Structure 1
Amino acid sequence: MGNREDLLAGARRCLEEKGWGRTTVRDIAAASGVSMAAIGYHFGSREALLNAALVEAMGEWGEKVGAALAALDDPGRSPAESFEALWEQLIGSINEHRTLWLANLEALVQAEHSPELREQLVAGQREGRRGMAAQLTGVPEEEIADGEVRAVGSVQLALLLGVMAQWLNDPQAAPSATDVIEGLRAVTARFGLVR
């Protein structure tokens, strides 16, 4: 690996170990085995390096979400069983990548002051909404209508972020996959939302 790749790997370790706000240039240099000056040379700033490391890590997590969404296509399960299996995998991933999710939440706050970071996070959210909507509706990503992405993808993303926040803050009381499914059933039945 070169200095750039070493810096990305070191920054990612720091994000996972220390979080966004507590990671210093010195920490990244120590974790990567590269000089502090190399951060400026390759990325321009600590923030830009942390942005790049977070986007890379979230991209990898997005691939895992895509694999989890493939559970929806299991012909041996009912649609409800497939959706519950999806949620089991998503919740498992939240627990497995806890520190990455915490760093992502910190980045959301930092994005208020960083247009570049905001653009990267927005691009990731848009891609995530589109991918989730495509998998949940069974329509290929390139064919899914923007209205479906806003409705289905946005709701799934909102549900995921809410479940994730509960698992990060209070894992003992956070909803299980079964709870998510039962909650959706109860809400749709209560308000007559089933077509």
Structure 2
Amino acid sequence: MGHREDLLEGARRCLLEKGWVGTTARDIVAASGANLASIGYHYGSKNALMMEAFLQLTEDWGQEVERSLATGIRPGAPRDERIAAVLDAVVEGFSENRPFWQAQLEVMGQLDRHPELKERFAQAMPAGREGLVAMFEGVADTDVPEEASRTSGSVYYSLFIGLWVQWLIDPALVPSGAEVVAGLRRVVDGTVLAPAPAPSAK
């Protein structure tokens, strides 16, 4: 690998081991074997390099979830079953990548102090919503219409962020995918305050 790739790999390791706030440029240099000046040459700044590492880790996580779904959803499953399975896979992905999701919370806390980070997040958000639609619907990103990304993608994104924050506080508080689907149905049907239906007899 060249210095650019070495720096990116070093930044990935530092992000997972030290977090966003705890990582210095010298930490990245030590982890990558590159030199301090190469950060500015290849990425412009430490924050820009860290953002690239962060986005790459996010992409890796998405691919891991997709691999899990490829074997975890039975062919022809009903829609509510598929959505529940995707939600369960997402939460399982949190547990398998805890250092990354803890670092992501740190990143969010830096946005107001670093406008360039907020801009990068804003630029990446449409693609993120598109990717979530593709994941939940079982289609390729290229098959997701812009309107679906903006509407349904925003709903999926909200579910994702909400589950993530609940999981960070206490994984035991996170509802199952089936419970989330049941909650969504109650919200849409206007039966939030009505008694939950009794389980059907088998």
TM category (shorter chain) comes to: 0.7 to 0.9
Question: Which amino acid in the other structure matches residue 165 of structure 1?
Answer: V
RMSD: 2.7
Tell me the equivalent position of 2:89. Answer: 89
2 CA distance for matches of 1:73 and 1:174? Answer: 21
Give CA deviations for 1:152-195 in whole Å, capped at 9, x if unaligned. 11011001011011111211222222332232233233359xxx
What does 1:62-73 align with in structure 2 at a 5 Å threshold?
62-67=62-67
* Contact in 2 for aligned 1:69/1:132 (Cα 8 Å): no
CA distance in 2, matches of 1:31, 1:139: 38
Residues 93-102 or 67-76, more deviating: 67-76
Distance (whole Å) between structure 1 residues aligned to residue 60 and residue 118 of structure 2 = 19
Q: Residue in 2 aligned with 1:61?
A: 61
Task: Provide closer, same or farther for how the CA distance between residues 41 and 143 of structure 1 changes in structure 2, counting only shifts above 3 A.
Answer: closer
After superposition, what is the alpha-carbon deviation per residue over 1:22-58, rounded to whole angstroms, capped at 9, x for unaligned? 1112211222222333323322322121111112212
8 A contact 2:81–2:178 mirrored in 1: no
1:42 counterpart letter in structure 2: H
1:138-162 Cα deviation digits (max 9, x unpaired): 7765564443322211011001011
1:10, 1:28 within 8 Å by CA — same for their partners in 2? Answer: yes
Deviates more, 1:83-92 or 1:110-119: 110-119
The equivalent of 1:179 in structure 2 is: 179
Look up the match of 1:126.
Answer: 126
In the alignment, what sits opposite 1:156? Answer: 156
Structure 1 contact 72–136 (Cα < 8 Å) conserved? no
Quickly say closer, same or farther: Cα 1:123–1:61, change in 2 above 3 A: farther
1:137–1:26 Cα change, 3 Å: closer
| Aligned equivalents of 1:140, 1:171: Cα separation in 2 | 30
| Unmatched tracts of structure 1, length 5 or more | none
Contact 1:72 1:82 survives alignment (8 Å): no
Asked if the contact 1:68–1:90 (Cα under 8 Å) also holds between the matched residues in 2, the reply is no
Deviation of 1:109 after TM superposition, in Å, equals 2.6
Residue 106 of structure 1: aligned partner: 106
| TM-superposed deviation, 1:72 | 9.7
Distance (whole Å) between structure 1 residues aligned to residue 98 and residue 77 of structure 2: 29
- TM-score normalized with structure 1 length: 0.83
Deviations 1:57-96 (A, max 9, x none): 1222233345566679843422222111111111111111
Structure 2 length normalisation: TM-score? 0.80
SS of 1:111's partner is coil
Contact 1:71 1:86 in 2 (8 A): no
Report what 2:196 is aligned to: none
Q: Which moved more, 1:44-53 or 1:72-81?
A: 72-81
The alpha-carbon distance between structure 1 residues 171 and 128, as it changes in their structure 2 partners (threshold 3 A), is same
From the superposition, tell whether residues 147 and 72 of structure 1 become closer, same or farther in structure 2 (CA, over 3 Å).
farther
Identical-pair percentage: 42
Alpha-carbon distance between aligned partners in 2 of 1:175 and 1:27, rounded to the nearest angstrom: 38
